[in-house]
Amino acid sequence: MLKPAVVCRAAKLSLISTRGGLIQPALQPRRHHRRSSVRAPPAAAAKPPNEHHTPGVFLGLPEEALGSSFLASMRGENVPASAASVAAPVLAAAAVLLCLPAPAEALSVQGAVGGLEDLIQSAGILGPVIFIVAYIAATVVLIPASVLTLAAGFLFGPVLGTVVVSVASTAGAAAAFLVGRYLARPAVEKRMQGNPKFAAVDGAIAQQGAKIVLLLRLSPLFPFTLLNYGLSLTRIEFGPYVAASWAGMLPGTIAYVALGGAGKAAAETAAGGGVAPLQLVLYGLGAAATLWATALISKAASKALDEASAAGSADKPLSGGSCLRPAASSSTRRLAAAAAAGGEQATAAAAGQAMSAAHAAGSADWYRHGMTSLSQGVTMAETLQRLGPEVELAEMQGSAFVKPQSILYQLDAKPRRWDMVLSHPSVAVLLYHRQRQAVILVRQFRPAVYISATREAEAAGEPKPPLSAGFTYELCAGIIDKPGLDLKQITKEEILEECGFDVPLGAIHLVTSYLSAIGISGSRQTIFAAEVDDAMAAAAGGGGLRDHGEAIEVLALPLPQVDDFLRDEGLGRSAGLLFSLLWLQQQLAANGGQLFPSQA
């Protein structure tokens, strides 16, 4: 793939020249050509002539594929337009417009631009098509589009140039969007990860969709080519994305094309032809007015975009996070006030106190009810050493897993609104170890649980609990985010990743499914069950610490201790785990100590 740093010599040095005015596109008669803007390397450093350009090869392509007419025009020779074939212009436009690097001895700058003009003219009605195809390809490989847009004004004039670039930029934006969403998503996610601007944009798009895309196109917040790929990671639909992109890019397109057209008029006048001086002045004033209007639109769009991003963030619920920057004092005061106003029941406060007391007792109390650790490295003590020292609240700026939304509906002929959090459905599995006569659990730190424990402690006037209060006991579980795999296959992979057991698909049995957090989410969780033994141990388990930041400890809870575990209010336990333990006891009692009657 071409890198953005590889800039086309012809485009950079000939289309934009700060020394000689707006644009010097080599429209002057070739008898006035001065020395090339690209200097040949010193003789001492010169490379063998055949190393970069050998007979029969030009820009890495066979000369017979490019055509002699194009090669002659690129070297500054006058060639009749009728001599160019259809295939040669296509390859040549791609070579020039996509900025393929070329040695100075093979390509002169002004000759390249002059050759490009001859190329477009020789193609006739196919000239704009060639330009559009090259523009799309340049957009996909992240080459800045401003140079090509200026070139369109020079090559086609302000009216046709605007039409050509409008079509090309919209098609290029659509192509890059599809590549980013379906072909190169991992690479794009890596590029965008940790970008605060993109996080704010993603949150705003979740609220206002195409309006934010329109404002982004009008605003210089993101470069055009990079923005195409960034937007492919959001939840914007393809149709609204294309429509908003076309409308938002149009003012900038008009401005840049007008600038390119003004440069062409200036070059023709300097060469002794073209428009009259008064017309040239009017042309320049028109281009300047267009640029001024575009700048005003961009400024207004940037302001509106900032307001939309701020409004989108204000509508989002508070979410727990580790070591986030907003001051803890203000968020703590808000939490305490909310807790006091909500009037938590004494039982909830008592449970929180019991949890804090239990975890503060030390590591000896971390393996209650006869639990033993099966982990080969990730233990609660080790995780505590890596946590903190602070866990605070911040406004959510965008998430790949949680999306706040508002539902608008009618009840009794009156408009209603219900705020919800869109989250992934998930699978969970109860693992029963036959040899150990124990239930396999997982334990990990949950920031949201710790924040809730902090809130309960503050409401009760108690000290801030230790970080160990954020650990929960759960089933092995994972979200459904792997296209092409059914629920059992996803469950099998989660068991291996988190607990280290390689369980055959036939040994995984459906228990039931339920809706979690029905007041704000309603996402479905499907529960499975499976029996495991030491022969199935195939990996260390512990979750995706490197990829997902998980630190999961695998525990074995002896069957005789299940009742005590169920009654222990000092432990953080998920609802799915409590249900599954009760179901397990019922199954074992009904089947003579066997989880599944068909298994020996």
Q: Is residue 488 part of a domain?
A: yes
> What is the Cα–Cα distance from 558 to 580, expressed in whole angstroms?
15
Maximum alpha-carbon separation in the chain: 103
Q: Quick check: 396 and 495 in contact, CB under 8 A?
A: no
The pLDDT assigned to 289 comes to 57
pLDDT at residue 501 tops 80: yes
> What is the Cα–Cα distance from 362 to 366, expressed in whole angstroms?
7
DSSP E strands in 219-326: the ranges are 318-322
Confidence of residue 301 (pLDDT cuts 50, 70, 90): low
Q: Is residue 79 part of a domain?
A: no
What proportion of the chain, given as a percentage, has pLDDT over 90?
18
Provide the 8-state DSSP code for 501.
Answer: B
Q: Is residue 206 part of a domain?
A: no
List, for residues 509-566, the tens digit of each pLDDT value.
999 999 988 888 888 999 999 999 989 988 776 654 444 456 788 999 999 999 999 9
Beta-bridge partner residues of 126: none
In a 3-state reduction of DSSP, which class is residue 429?
strand
| Residue among 254, 206, 248 nearest 228 (CA) | 248
Tell me the mean pLDDT in the region 81-87. Answer: 36
In a 3-state reduction of DSSP, which class is residue 409?
strand
pLDDT at residue 596 tops 70: yes
Q: Is residue 417 part of a domain?
A: yes
Q: Is residue 166 part of a domain?
A: no
The pLDDT assigned to 192 comes to 67
The pLDDT assigned to 188 comes to 72
Peptide bond connecting 389 to the previous residue in cis, omega within 30 degrees of 0: yes
* Entry field: residues in the chain: 600
Two tokens, residue 299:
């400024």
In a 3-state reduction of DSSP, which class is residue 378?
coil
Q: Is residue 292 part of a domain?
A: no
List, for residues 308-358, the tens digit of each pLDDT value.
555 444 333 323 333 222 333 333 333 334 444 444 444 444 544 444 444
The residue range of the domain holding 584 is 321-590
Q: Would strands 523-532 and 426-433 be described as parallel, antiparallel, or unpaired?
A: parallel
> What is the Cα–Cα distance from 140 to 226, expressed in whole angstroms?
9
Selected residue with higher pLDDT from 468 and 487: 487
CATH number, domain containing residue 464: 3.90.79.10
| Residue that is written with structure tokens 């390249």 in the block | 112
Total tally of structural domains belonging to the chain: 1
Q: Is residue 461 part of a domain?
A: yes
> What is the Cα–Cα distance from 93 to 115, expressed in whole angstroms?
10
Two tokens, residue 503:
């369980």
Q: Quick check: 383 and 375 in contact, CB under 8 A?
A: no
Pick left, alpha or beta for residue 388 (phi over 0 → left; psi -120 to 50 → alpha; otherwise beta).
Answer: left
| Residue that is written with structure tokens 């989108």 in the block | 312
pLDDT at residue 407 tops 70: yes
Q: Is residue 61 part of a domain?
A: no
With residue 266 as reference, give the H or E element that holds it: helix 238-270
> What is the Cα–Cα distance from 316 to 420, expressed in whole angstroms?
10
| Residue among 442, 460, 439, 457 nearest 360 (CA) | 457
With residue 377 as reference, give the H or E element that holds it: none
Selected residue with higher pLDDT from 583 and 294: 583
- The torsion angles phi and psi of 464, rounded to 5 degrees, stand at -65, 130
Selected residue with higher pLDDT from 153 and 314: 153
Pick left, alpha or beta for residue 169 (phi over 0 → left; psi -120 to 50 → alpha; otherwise beta).
Answer: alpha
What's the chain's average pLDDT? 69
> What is the Cα–Cα distance from 200 to 183, expressed in whole angstroms?
24
HSE of 33 in the Cβ direction (CA atoms, 13 Å)? 20
Question: Taking CA 136 as the corner, what is the angle to CA 135 and CA 139, rounded to the nearest 5 degrees?
Answer: 85
pLDDT at residue 581 tops 70: yes
Tell me the mean pLDDT in the region 161-170. Answer: 91
pLDDT at residue 171 tops 90: yes
Two tokens, residue 422:
């869109």
CB atoms within 10 A of CB 183: 11
The pLDDT assigned to 264 comes to 66
pTM of the model: 0.41
Tell me the mean pLDDT in the region 71-76. Answer: 45
Tell me the mean pLDDT in the region 169-191. Answer: 83
| Residue that is written with structure tokens 């003012």 in the block | 251
The pLDDT assigned to 414 comes to 78
Cα(first)–Cα(last) distance of the chain, in Å?
58
> What is the Cα–Cα distance from 552 to 445, expressed in whole angstroms?
8
Q: Please give the single-letter amino acid code of residue 227.
A: L
Two tokens, residue 291:
């640029």
**Measured CA distances, 262 to 23, 61, 256, 269, 276 (Å):** 8, 34, 10, 11, 13
pLDDT at residue 195 tops 80: no
Confidence of residue 495 (pLDDT cuts 50, 70, 90): very high
The pLDDT assigned to 504 comes to 93
Q: Quick check: 501 and 534 in contact, CB under 8 A?
A: no
Q: Quick check: 554 and 373 in contact, CB under 8 A?
A: yes
